Amino acid sequence: MTQKTTGRRIRNPVPTLTTSYPSAGTPIASFAYPDSIMDIVGEKQLKLSVNDTWHYGEIEDFHAEGTPMLRNPCFQSSMEIKGGSSGGPVANRQGHIFAINSTGTETSPEIAAYSFLSPIDLCFDIQVDITISGERRLYSIRELIDYKFIPVSGINT
């Protein structure tokens, strides 16, 4: 894949996850694909127009019991995320992924940006269907961390 405006190749390095939760005021960034468009151009062909965007903000609060908008433990941030950004990684200043975009609001002159981010360690029990050493089965993210396929920094892994 290449970036539409620059023509540079898009790379997919394996990021380091962290279970260390940032405190209020910590700067954060997210890379996501909001407002991307998929068009069907033939019986077996799709055209994907990817809109890759960086979002920036800071942690405002942590809601251990969730919020009316998001029921799981979550961070509240000042970062504006748009439709299609959900599931995008959220990194701390060291570039370690500590959360994923979950939900947010569109801004207006009356509404300041805010979003809710789910801690990445809530995802560790999700299973993916992959083949390792010739064995295809469901592996949890936690297993892949234990096998050292996914680097993790912090505690509570």
The CATH number of residue 36's host domain is: 2.40.10.10
In a domain, 99, yes or no: yes
Compute the distance between CA of residue 74 and CA of residue 54 in angstroms, rounded to an integer. Answer: 20
Q: Is residue 148 part of a domain?
A: no
Instruction: Give the pairing of strands 17-18 and 152-153.
Output: parallel
Within a domain: 151: no
Asked whether residue 97 is assigned to any structural domain, the reply reads yes
pLDDT at 137: 95
| Tokens encoding 74 | 């979550």
- Tell me which amino acid residue 119 is: P
What's the domain range around 93?
17-121
Residue 108: how many other CB atoms lie within 10 Å: 8
Judging by beta carbons within 10 Å of its beta carbon (0-12, 13-18, 19+), is residue 30 exposed, middle or buried? buried
Q: Choose the weakest-confidence range: 8-12, 18-22, 90-94, 102-106.
A: 8-12
Domain count, the chain: 1
In a domain, 74, yes or no: yes
**Confidence at residue 13, expressed as pLDDT on a 0 to 100 scale:** 66
Q: Band of the pLDDT at 64, cuts 50, 70, 90?
A: very high
Distance CA 87, CA 51 (A): 15
**pLDDT tens track for 79-90:** 988 777 888 899
Smallest Cα–Cα separation from 90: which of 119, 122, 67? 119
What integer pLDDT is reported at residue 77 of this predicted model?
95
What are the C-alpha distances in Å from 87 to residues 23, 72, 104, 116, 120?
Answer: 21, 15, 12, 11, 10
Q: Does residue 58 carry a pLDDT above 90?
A: yes
CA-to-CA distance for 86 and 64, rounded, in angstroms? 20
pTM over 0.85, yes/no: no
